[in-house]
Structure 1
Amino acid sequence: MEITLSPSPNFDERKHAVDMLVLHYTGMVTGQAAFDQLRNPEAKVSSHYLLWEDGRVDQMVPEDRRAWHAGVSSWQGDEDLNSRSIGIEIVNGGHDFPQPGGGLPPYPTAQIDALIELCHRILAGHDIPQTRIVGHSDIAPSRKQDPGEHFPWEQLARAGIGIWADIEDLEAPTARAEGLSPGDESASVRRMQDHLQRIGYGLPPSGTYDDLTEAVVRAFQRRWLPDRVTGTADLQTLRQISVIHALYSAG
């Protein structure tokens, strides 16, 4: 893989060893705009890599340095995720710059092929568990939507990057007989929150389906149920939460 060095001034020293991989979309009108922003010292943002639509890769921060891509975030009880992670920005307008008809812009085949190769390269060099390969929306669900429900997580997982589950093919703990909705207060809500927290989401089990719970459910759906990003935990969502919780616990 050919990687172009395009240094950003926006980095500092790590405080922890690398054990996470965080995927983003740029959410800007063009890749060039994102490139310029990630190298702008006044912006105070950066990533280790920028991946263009045609598969070109720019390295902006050395992997042994702390790039500024995750912001305020948490996963599996850890914070300061910039110190723990490699960040990849993938050129895609996302929710901020949808297609003329309103749909989200696709990720081109060449881009995803290059992403898979880049991820394998990163994973070969660092001890990153499959349960710590995340999207920005996983680690900051109240404020981020990237890399979006249009991102091909399933394709990456089938290439050995992250975890996927076809729920129809798996045994799962029995979900309750009805779904859960924002505003609910019950032991079932607490159990769902506990499962989401154990997967990694920053969600303290309270038993109340509050705004944070809704945001976390929506982030979970973006990752594992991209055809139903509602924030409401219907039966399929509850079952998928149980499946992913079981797979993450096993890992």
Structure 2
Amino acid sequence: MSDFIERWSPNFDERALPISMIVLHYTGMKSGAEAIDWLANAQSKVSAHYVVSEDGQITHMVPEDKRAWHAGKSHWRGVSDINSASVGIEIVNPGHEWGYVPFPDPQVASVVRIVHMLKDRYSVTRGNVIGHSDIAPTRKQDPGELFPWDELARRRLALPRPTKKLTDPVWTDAGFLLALERFGYDVTDGFAATVAFQRRFRPELIDGTICGECRAILLALLLPQPEGN
């Protein structure tokens, strides 16, 4: 798209897998300019394909056919080389370390725009439009509980949070973690995986406690979705 700014990063290599995921991050730095400079710095050894500023400006930093270095040690639905399998989008926000704030409407609109473009281009399923915390629950919190996933979900760009006709399957905690692993999470650290799940699908209470509501939400997510999983 011609209105994207180009600021190329040297931090990429060749993909080993086809694109099947879109991973959303927040930059977690004091400013967008600082974040973009860092992603463009060869010494940082990190990068993303796109950065979305607060005003909605999109900066293209790594060609989509190349493997950007944004995911780190991560896992989702049986894939551990997330960098090879994904397009990484950094969303400018100070994050939890520097004063986490809501995402402005123009920024969210641009995230919707670029996710829509990428989802169509690579036939990414809604369940593979995910946050950094989903793929790295022991290390990451982004894009965080303030990110409006519902804006993507109502446009069929991400899985919606189930809210209707929820039934608690009354799993044991071990059963919940097995179901969470089936959904896609790395449950090596069960508490961290539960926190990540809550941050995404029950953000009003993130305490790592497995409860009836969490079990019911997860069960609903595992069932066939009208618009696909």
Structure 2 residues without counterparts, runs of 5 or longer: none
Match of 1:170 in 2: 165
Deviation of 1:166 after TM superposition, in Å, equals 3.4
Moved more, 237-246 or 65-74: 237-246
1:217 paired to 2:211: no
**Structure 1: distance between partners of 2:224 and 2:106:** 30
Instruction: Give, as a single letter, the amino acid of the residue that structure 2 aligns with 1:241.
Output: L
Match of 2:178 in 1: 194
**Aligned residues: CA RMSD:** 1.6
Deviation of 1:171 after TM superposition, in Å, equals 4.6
Given that residues 49 and 61 in structure 1 are in contact (C-alpha distance below 8 angstroms), is that contact kept between their aligned partners in structure 2?
yes
Per-residue CA deviations over 1:66-121 (Å, capped at 9, x if unaligned) read 000000000001111000000000000110111xxxxx301000000111011111
Structure 1 residues without counterparts, runs of 5 or longer: 99-103, 177-186, 205-211
Match of 1:203 in 2: 187
Given that residues 47 and 87 in structure 1 are in contact (C-alpha distance below 8 angstroms), is that contact kept between their aligned partners in structure 2?
yes
Match of 2:39 in 1: 38
Given that residues 162 and 220 in structure 2 are in contact (C-alpha distance below 8 angstroms), is that contact kept between their aligned partners in structure 1?
no
TM score, norm. by length of structure 2: 0.95
Per-residue CA deviations over 1:138-162 (Å, capped at 9, x if unaligned) read 0000000000000001111101211
Match of 2:143 in 1: 147
Per-residue CA deviations over 1:205-231 (Å, capped at 9, x if unaligned) read xxxxxxx11100000001000101111
Instruction: Give, as a single letter, the amino acid of the residue that structure 2 aligns with 1:85.
Output: S
| SS, match of residue 223 in structure 2 | helix
Listed as ranges, the matches of 1:1-251 within 5 Å are: 2-98=3-99, 104-167=100-163, 169-172=164-167, 174-176=168-170, 188-203=172-187, 212-247=189-224, 251=229
**Structure 2: distance between partners of 1:165 and 1:247:** 14
Deviation of 1:124 after TM superposition, in Å, equals 1.8
Deviation of 1:245 after TM superposition, in Å, equals 2.1
Task: Tell me: CA distance 1:231–1:247, structure 2 relative to 1, closer, same or farther (3 Å).
Answer: farther
Where in structure 1 do 4 or more consecutive aligned residues deviate above 3 Å?
Answer: none
**Structure 2: distance between partners of 1:218 and 1:36:** 31
- Count of equivalent residues: 227
Given that residues 196 and 245 in structure 1 are in contact (C-alpha distance below 8 angstroms), is that contact kept between their aligned partners in structure 2?
no
Identity %: 41
Instruction: Give, as a single letter, the amino acid of the residue that structure 2 aligns with 1:227.
Output: E
Deviation of 1:170 after TM superposition, in Å, equals 3.1
Per-residue CA deviations over 1:13-64 (Å, capped at 9, x if unaligned) read 0001000000000000110110111001000000000000000000000000
